Amino acid sequence: MKNYIVITLVGIFLGSLVISSCKKSVDGSIQDASTRRSFTPTNLSVKVSTDTASFSWNAPLFSINNMTYTVDIATDSLFSDIVLSVKSDTTNALATDSVLLLNTPYYSRVRVNAYTILAPSNYLVATNGLNAPSTFRLLGLQYLKVIRESEITASSVLVHWYLNQDTKNVTNITLTPSDGGSLVNVPVVGNEVINGEKNITGLEAGKKYTLQLFAGKKSMGFTTVSTPKVATFAKTITAGVDSLSAAIAAAADGDVIGLNPGTYTLTSITQILQKTITIRSVSNNPSDTRILSREFDLVGDGAGISLMGVEVSGKYSGTSFGVTFLQLFGSPTSNSLPANFTNIKIDNCIIHDYSRSVIRGNYGTNANDFKIGNITINNSQIYSIDQLSSTGYYQFLLDKVQFNALSFTRSTFYGLGNGMISMSTQLAAPTTIPSINIDYCTFNNIGGSTKYLLLDAKTNLVNYNLSNSILANTPITGSLNNAAFRSTGAGNVLTFAHNNYFKFAATVGGFDLVLTGLLQSNNYTTDLGWLPSTTNFTLSTQPSNSPVFTASSNNGTIGDPRWAY
C-alpha cells in the first residue's frame, strides 16, 4: 500500500506538469514557471583547490529517483560560451585543469536534466554575497620556481622547477604571447627533466609571455615573463676616458647614455634640467658598472630619469657623504616653484649609503606644486640610508607631490631609517586616485624616529597594496608610531595580503606594530631567523614546508625573487 501511494502521487504530480498553464521561461523552453522552480536545485557553491573546482548544491524541493544534473562552466555570465558541461547523478561535480585553463575566470550554473515527461528545470547560477554572478579560477599546481630578472634576456629565459614525484615526467613548456601571437611549444628532455631546468631561446624582445609547465596534459606550473627591449644608445662612454657629468649635460630629451663597465665619479650635485634621460649600463650588470654620486636633482618641467643596470653609491673618497639620492626642484633659480615632472624609473640597480632619504619631493611652496607621473623601482637593492634614523625624513618624502603611481616590485630594502613613504600634506582631490603597489619585495632592519613605518597618507586619497613580501626587524633604533599606517581618506583601499612578517615591532624587541584599517588576508608571522644585521636573505636554508615557498598569490615563493633559491 505504501509503495502504491508514492507512485500514485508522483504520477499525479507529473501529470499536472502537462495540463497546467504554460509560459515561456528564461531559457526559451515552454514550461510552468512555478513547477520548474520546484525542481530547481538550490545553494550552488564552488570550492577551488590548486587544480580542481568542486561544485555542490542542494537537491530541489521535489526530488525523485534517477534525477540527474548538468553543471555548465562558461567564460561569460550569459553562458554564451560554455567550455564544459558535466553530468552528475549526485549533488556534486568536479572540473580539473586538464580541461579548464589556469588563471582564467569562469562562471558556473546547474540544473536538473529532463526526466521522462519532466522538462529540464530552471538554471541556478553561482552568485556572490551581492547576488551577482560569481567567478572561480584555478591557479593550478605550482612547481615552477619564481623567475629571476637576472635570468631573462631580450631573447631567452632560464626556467627552473622543483623536483618531486609530480615533476619527474615533465614533458614540455608552452609560451603564449600576450599580443595574440602563436603559441610556442618547447620540449623538455633528458638532463633538463633530471635537473629541473630549461633555457628557452628564440624569444622576441620587448614581449610578455604566459609560460606553463606540463607533464603530459597536466599543468605543473604557471607564470608570466617579459623580455626586455633591446637598448639603443644615443651615446656610449668609457670610465676614465669620458665624463659622465658632461654626457648628462649634453644629452637631449629622451637620450639613452650607455656606460661601459667601470666606475664613474660625479663630484658635485648633478642636475637634470627640464629633460628626461636614461643612464644605462651596456652590460645591464650593476656589479660591473658603478656611479659615485652625491645627489641627482630633477629640475623643472619635463625633468625625469631612468637608471638601469648600475650601482649608485653616495659614500666615496673626495666628496662629502651623499645626503639624498634624488630630489625634485621647481627650477634652477628656485627649488619651490611649481613643476610638472615626467617619471622616475630605477630598474636592476643597487643604491646605497645616503644620509637622509631615497627621494625627496617636498620643496613646493604649496600643496600640489609638484606633479609627476610614475615612480617605479624594480629588481633593485636599496640599503644603508639614514641608518642612524636621526634626520626625521621619510625614505620617499612625497609631501606636496601629486603622483599617479608609486611601485616597488621584486626589490630588497634594508638598513633604512625612519618611515618608508610620506604623502601627508593635504592635497587637492586628484582626478585619478594615486596608487602605491609593493609586490614581491624583501624588507629588513627598517624604521625609526616615531614615524609611521609603511605609509603616512593622512587624509589624502590613495589605493595601497602590499603583497607577496617579507618584512622583518623593526625599528633600526628608537621607536616607531604604534600604527604601521596612517590613511584616513574616505574610500581609500588598503590591502595587506600574502605576506610574512616577524620581529615587526614599534620598539626593538617590543610589542607588534598595529595593522589596522587594512584588508588583510593570507598573512604569516613565521620567524625566518634574520637578524637586523642580516644582508643575505636566501631562503634555501628554510624548511621545505615553510610558508614562504607557497604563500604568494599564485601559490609560489614570496619576497624578492633574487633570494628564492
The pLDDT of residue 366 is 86
Q: Which residue has the higher pLDDT, 290 or 117?
A: 290
pLDDT tens for 84-101 read 999 999 999 999 888 888
pLDDT tens for 407-437 read 999 999 999 999 999 999 988 877 789 999 9
In the chain, what is the greatest distance between 2 CA atoms, to the nearest angstrom? 108
- Residue 55 exposure: Cα atoms within 13 Å on the Cβ side: 33
Q: Which residue has the higher pLDDT, 313 or 13?
A: 313
The model's confidence at residue 443, banded by pLDDT at 50, 70 and 90, is very high
Give the span between the Cα atoms of 90 and 54, in whole angstroms: 13
- Minimal CA–CA distance to 338: which of 360, 367, 358, 359? 367
Cα 200 to its chain centre, rounded Å, is 24
pLDDT tens for 148-175 read 998 999 999 999 999 999 999 999 999 9
Q: What spatial distance separates the first Cα and last Cα of the chain, rounded to whole Å?
A: 73
Q: What is the pTM assigned to this prediction?
A: 0.80
Consecutive H or E run containing 466: strand 463-467
Mean pLDDT of 521-537: 97
Q: Which residue has the higher pLDDT, 395 or 556?
A: 395
- Residue 268 exposure: Cα atoms within 13 Å on the Cβ side: 6
The model's confidence at residue 321, banded by pLDDT at 50, 70 and 90, is low
Domain 2-125 superfamily per CATH: Immunoglobulins (2.60.40.10)
pLDDT tens for 254-272 read 999 999 999 999 988 999 9
The pLDDT of residue 490 is 85
CA 416, 563, 465, 520 torsion: positive or negative? Answer: negative
Give the span between the Cα atoms of 238 and 523, in whole angstroms: 48
The chain-wide mean pLDDT, for the chain, equals 89
CB 314 within 8 A of CB 322: yes
CATH number for the domain formed by residue range(s) 149-226: 2.60.40.10
The pLDDT of residue 311 is 98
Cell 656610449 -> residue = 236
The pLDDT of residue 368 is 85
The model's confidence at residue 36, banded by pLDDT at 50, 70 and 90, is low
Residues 6+ apart with CB under 8 A from 241: none
Residues of the chain with pLDDT > 90: what percent? 75
Consecutive H or E run containing 5: helix 2-19
Given a cut of 70, is residue 400 above it in pLDDT? yes
Consecutive H or E run containing 72: strand 69-74
Q: Which of 263-277, 373-387, 388-402 has the lowest mean pLDDT?
A: 388-402
Q: 149-226: same fold as 2-125?
A: yes
The pLDDT of residue 318 is 63
CB 396 within 8 A of CB 376: no
For 21, the 3-state DSSP assignment is coil
For 246, the 3-state DSSP assignment is helix
Mean pLDDT of 282-294: 95
The model's confidence at residue 37, banded by pLDDT at 50, 70 and 90, is low
Give the span between the Cα atoms of 358 and 393, in whole angstroms: 10
Given a cut of 90, is residue 208 above it in pLDDT? yes
Say which DSSP state 245 is in.
Answer: H
The pLDDT of residue 426 is 87
Give the span between the Cα atoms of 355 and 359, in whole angstroms: 12
Cα 254 to its chain centre, rounded Å, is 29
Q: Which residue has the higher pLDDT, 492 or 118?
A: 492
The pLDDT of residue 15 is 40
The model's confidence at residue 111, banded by pLDDT at 50, 70 and 90, is very high
Cell 670610465 -> residue = 239
Residues 6+ apart with CB under 8 A from 44: 55, 56, 57, 108, 109, 110, 124, 125, 126
Mean pLDDT of 204-221: 93
C-beta atoms surrounding 430 within 10 Å: 15
Kindly report the backbone phi and psi dihedral angles of residue 382, in degrees, each rounded to the nearest multiple of 5, phi listed first: -125, 125
Residue spans of the domains in the chain: they are 2-125, 149-226, 380-565
Give the span between the Cα atoms of 69 and 89, in whole angstroms: 6
Residues of the chain with pLDDT > 70: what percent? 92
Give the span between the Cα atoms of 299 and 309, in whole angstroms: 23
Residues 6+ apart with CB under 8 A from 209: 175, 176, 177, 178, 184, 203, 224, 225, 226, 227
CB 313 within 8 A of CB 343: no
Give the span between the Cα atoms of 358 and 396, in whole angstroms: 6
The pLDDT of residue 191 is 97
pLDDT tens for 462-500 read 999 999 999 999 999 999 999 999 999 888 989 999 999
Kindly report the backbone phi and psi dihedral angles of residue 94, in degrees, each rounded to the nearest multiple of 5, phi listed first: -130, 150
In order of 36, 64, 129, 342, the CA distances from 45 in angstroms are: 21, 22, 12, 48
DSSP secondary structure letters along 82-94: EEEEEEESSSEEE
Q: Which residue has the higher pLDDT, 150 or 241?
A: 241
